[in-house]
Amino acid sequence: MTENSSGSSSADQPTRAIDEVDTRTQAQQVQGEDAPAPQAQSGESVGRRFMRVEDERWGYDPAEVDDFLERVDAVLATTARDPQSAPGVGSRQVRERVFDRVQGGYDPAPVDARLDELEDELADREREAFISEHGPERWEEHLELLGQTLLGRLNRPHGERFRRPSQRKQLGYSVSDVDVLCDRITEHFRSDEALDPTLVRKAVFRQAQGHRCYEEQQVDAFLDRVVELILALR
């Protein structure tokens, strides 16, 4: 989840943050000539180029992005419906992947959109593999346990859902912003209404300091599990 200061991501931090961009202008940059980006198919190994940001701005390291996406495509191409045969690359690894930033790198928005698509596909395969090996009853037990764990934290009072930083001047996520998102997630779970993972994936929190903020790492880990449950319930 993105650390945010005054409503915008810190540009010089290695993160999977979403910069504010006009997605209508996303195009492939090929030797100085703009062209529509190709639609990569599952398991298809292709030279992948995303639009780059201006030279003075920070974007994702192209070498890291290309290498990681090629690894994911290789998994999708060679593991059939058994992601366990290629350990190290699964839906969680895609969700948690962080790229270094370099000047003139890849525009984060289209890269993040592609990662979301790959996470969805890998999650579907993992669910099918689990059910095939252990049966649907075990899968339902797994979902129930995960849901109970998440609701246990969501049901805590406002301001008490996550740890506060240990140092008084340490920065973190605004308590009020995180609690608002947690309330929305709770409403969806209690109503059995399908929850769009984008609500969690694209959440942005203001920065706060000391007792006014939650520890970022714990919030991020929790929201990753929320996305895991949302995809599993599809």
Q: How far apart are CA 123 and CA 72, in angstroms?
A: 13
Domain boundary among 134, 168, 196: 134
Across the strands, what pairs with 34? 29
Q: Can you point out the beta strands (E) in 184-234?
A: 207-209, 213-214
User: Is residue 76 domain-shared with residue 171, that is, in the same domain?
Assistant: no
Helical axes 216-232 vs 136-154, angle rounded to 10°: 140
User: Is residue 193 domain-shared with residue 220, that is, in the same domain?
Assistant: yes
Q: Scan for tokens 């706060």, then name that residue.
A: 208
The pLDDT tens digits for 34-48 are 444 444 443 333 336
Which tokens is 94 given?
């895609």
User: Is residue 40 domain-shared with residue 118, that is, in the same domain?
Assistant: yes
User: Is residue 151 domain-shared with residue 199, that is, in the same domain?
Assistant: yes
User: Is residue 115 domain-shared with residue 170, that is, in the same domain?
Assistant: no
Domain boundary among 73, 106, 134: 134
- Residue 193 has a pLDDT of 77
Give, for all 234 residues of the chain, the pLDDT tens digit.
444 433 333 334 433 333 333 333 343 333 444 444 444 443 333 336 799 999 999 999 999 999 999 999 888 887 554 444 445 688 989 988 989 999 999 999 999 999 999 999 999 988 998 999 999 999 999 999 999 999 999 999 999 999 998 888 889 999 999 999 999 999 988 887 778 899 999 999 999 998 899 999 999 999 999 999 999 887
User: Is residue 103 domain-shared with residue 158, that is, in the same domain?
Assistant: no
Domain boundary among 80, 105, 134: 134
User: Is residue 71 domain-shared with residue 141, that is, in the same domain?
Assistant: no
User: Is residue 170 domain-shared with residue 97, that is, in the same domain?
Assistant: no
Contact 173, 214 (CB under 8 A): yes
User: Is residue 232 domain-shared with residue 161, that is, in the same domain?
Assistant: yes
Supply the pTM of this predicted model: 0.66
Domains of the chain: total = 2
- Residue 77 has a pLDDT of 84
User: Is residue 118 domain-shared with residue 8, that is, in the same domain?
Assistant: yes
User: Is residue 107 domain-shared with residue 152, that is, in the same domain?
Assistant: no
- Domain with 216 in it: 135-234
Contact 110, 118 (CB under 8 A): no
What are the backbone angles phi and psi of residue 29, rounded to the nearest 5°?
-105, 115
Q: SS3 breakdown of the chain: % helix, strand, coil, rounded to 5? A: 50, 10, 40
- Residue 80 has a pLDDT of 53
Which tokens is 5 given?
């200061």
Which tokens is 128 given?
């099918």
User: Is residue 92 domain-shared with residue 158, that is, in the same domain?
Assistant: no
